[in-house]
Amino acid sequence: MASCLALAGCGDTQDPSEAEVAEEDAKPIGSYTVDPETGEVRAVHTDGDGTRTTLAAGRTVDPVLPAPFVLPPGATIESVTRVEQGEGRLVTIVFASELDRDALAEFYRELAGEAGFSVTSDIPGESALVLAGENFDDGTTFAATIRASDDGSEAELTVSAGIG
């Protein structure tokens, strides 16, 4: 009898159920790296439903702005944060421009207007001008905070397309 119990105990290991396998497969996975030479940060995350999100941040990251947005001629990039999720993209760029604060704001007003964006905020504050808008047809949004500087202006531009 003891040998039967011992033998029965050996066969007691169970294969994981389909639900357990699915739960294990649905666990989020990701990675995070920092380039020691440039300081550039990269992260990748895949959530439980398989949606992959990537992040790249640093001075040397290619901004890849969603159309129609571009930097003004002669702009100097200070930093870039780019997030991509599925077909969507969100990019934030901090940059300096030779254009003064008002000229840079007009550059983005014209660019947005020509591309069918509605300017939803245009606030000329003492320390900064805030400009924001949306293309209601495709949901792309932008926001710019522009400050005067000794050499023109400094700005932070965020453009989001397809990320809610």
Structural domain count of the chain: 1
pLDDT of residue 13: 47
Residue 67 maps to a domain: yes
Cβ atoms within 10 Å, residue 16: 10
Residue 17 maps to a domain: no
On whether the pTM is more than 0.85, the answer is: no
Residue 102 maps to a domain: yes
DSSP letter string, 106-153: HHHHHHHHHTTPEEEEEEE-SS-EEEEEE-TTT--EEEEEEEEETTEE
Residue 106 maps to a domain: yes
Residue 116 maps to a domain: yes
pLDDT tens, the chain, 164 aa long: 444 444 344 444 455 556 554 555 556 688 989 999 988 999 999 888 888 999 999 999 998 898 899 999 999 999 999 999 988 999 999 999 999 999 999 999 999 999 999 999 999 999 999 999 999 999 999 999 999 999 999 999 999 998 86
For residue 159, the cross-strand partners are 91, 142
Residue 129 maps to a domain: yes
Q: For residue 157, give the CATH number of its domain.
A: 3.30.160
Residue 79 maps to a domain: yes
Phi, psi (deg, nearest 5) at residue 18: -60, -40
pLDDT of residue 48: 84
Residue 63 maps to a domain: yes
pLDDT of residue 34: 92
Give the domain range for residue 119. 56-161
